[in-house]
């Protein structure tokens, strides 16, 4: 409750109103521990997505003072109880994937020890906005945790005229925990109904993603400072293995009018040689680590909105 009134969530497209429940109540938190554990056991669940948003700051700002918290600490108490529930599930089911999604704990370091996925934002399109979110989120959690989906509402992707633009849209999700889904559960939006051109490029890019996704758990750096976007509008991010023996560089021209860009790598061995492979360009070269970090890679993307993925492996 807020100021004596029950808080309700009213979404125009939903059939019913949802009553907001305060997680600051110790009794309710205990109920969730046991009921969620029971669901995991009965349905053999692998994944739980915890989505307590709907209205930013609610129900975290409950100021009712008779059910486990005082008038001014409803949010803090609710977050404490959320930690306790996640810890309970994590200890009881070590292999269960917990996905954090919601206010007031989005991008919260306090959950880092228990979650295995983080929903960055319901902003799943356009690709440029999604990339910007993913680039910033990469500075908080490992990118392998930060989920980004392809959804049918993304007309920019589904109406793209060229393969390069379709690839760029798909690869914008490959910066993090890559998925295909629906925001509201409509069967008409299921992936099996996607146009063939989208499914074909998805198949190709998923195969590519599997070649470097292990690096998304490791070192992240940005050729453009501070968060991967340069003044000309290009965007890029580099993921490097902890030993410096391999890396992937993901580049996006976005809406920039600049056809070329120079990208300096980092975290490599200056005295070692690397095989540098341009996936779309189809070229491969052996370049020294010092040159890659000091001179950089020259990249040309003639088509606006195009992308390139560059794989770097120790020679």
Max mean pLDDT range (48-57, 63-72, 110-119, 282-291):
282-291
Cβ(218)–Cβ(240) below 8 Å: yes
Q: Is the dihedral of CA 215, 216, 219, 222 positive or negative?
A: positive
Assess whether the previous peptide bond of 207 is cis (omega < 30° from 0): no
Q: What digits encode the pLDDT tens for the residues 82-119? A: 999 999 999 999 999 999 887 666 677 888 889 999 98
Contacts of 229 (CB under 8 A, 6+ apart): 132, 135, 235
Res. 252: pLDDT tops 80 = yes
What's the distance, CA 178 to chain centroid? Answer: 7
What pLDDT does residue 57 have?
55
178: number of CA atoms within 13 Å, CB side? Answer: 19
Higher pLDDT, 101 or 240: 240
Q: Which residue has the tokens 């915890």?
A: 50
Q: pTM of the prediction?
A: 0.88
> pLDDT-derived band of residue 53, with 50, 70 and 90 as boundaries?
low
Q: Which domains does the chain have, with CATH numbers?
A: 220-314 (2.60.40.1180)
* CB neighbourhood size of 3 (10 A): 7
Mean pLDDT confidence for 149-175? 96
> pLDDT-derived band of residue 46, with 50, 70 and 90 as boundaries?
very high
Higher pLDDT, 82 or 183: 82
N- to C-terminal Cα distance for the chain?
63
Cβ(83)–Cβ(110) below 8 Å: yes
């Amino acid at each position: 409750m807020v100021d004596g009134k029950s808080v309700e969530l009213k979404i125009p497209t939903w059939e019913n109103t949802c009553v907001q429940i305060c997680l600051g109540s110790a009794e309710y938190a205990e109920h969730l521990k046991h009921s969620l554990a029971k669901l995991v056991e009965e349905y053999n669940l692998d994944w739980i997505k915890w989505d307590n948003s709907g209205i930013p700051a609610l129900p975290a700002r409950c100021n009712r003072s008779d059910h486990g918290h005082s008038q001014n600490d409803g949010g803090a108490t609710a977050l404490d109880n959320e930690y306790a529930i996640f810890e309970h599930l994590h200890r009881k089911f070590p292999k269960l994937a917990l996905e954090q999604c919601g206010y007031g704990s989005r991008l919260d370091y306090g959950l880092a020890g228990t979650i295995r996925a983080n929903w960055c934002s319901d902003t799943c399109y356009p690709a440029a906005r999604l990339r910007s979110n993913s680039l910033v989120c990469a500075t908080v959690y490992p990118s392998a945790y930060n989920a980004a989906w392809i959804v049918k509402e993304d007309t920019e992707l589904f109406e793209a005229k060229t393969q390069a633009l379709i690839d760029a849209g798909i690869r914008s999700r490959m910066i993090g925990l890559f998925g295909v889904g629906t925001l509201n559960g409509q069967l008409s939006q299921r992936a099996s109904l996607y146009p063939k051109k989208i499914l074909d490029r998805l198949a190709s890019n998923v195969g590519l993603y599997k070649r470097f996704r292990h690096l998304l758990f490791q070192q992240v750096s940005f050729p453009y400072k501070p968060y991967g976007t340069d003044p000309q509008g290009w965007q890029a991010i580099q993921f490097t293995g902890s030993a410096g023996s391999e890396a992937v560089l993901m580049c996006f021209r976005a809406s920039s009018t600049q056809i070329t860009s120079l990208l300096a790598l980092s975290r490599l061995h200056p005295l070692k040689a690397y095989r540098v492979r341009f996936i779309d360009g189809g070229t491969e070269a052996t370049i020294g680590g010092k040159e890659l970090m000091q001179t950089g890679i020259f990249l040309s993307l003639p088509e606006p909105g195009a992308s390139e993925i560059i794989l770097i492996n120790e020679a």
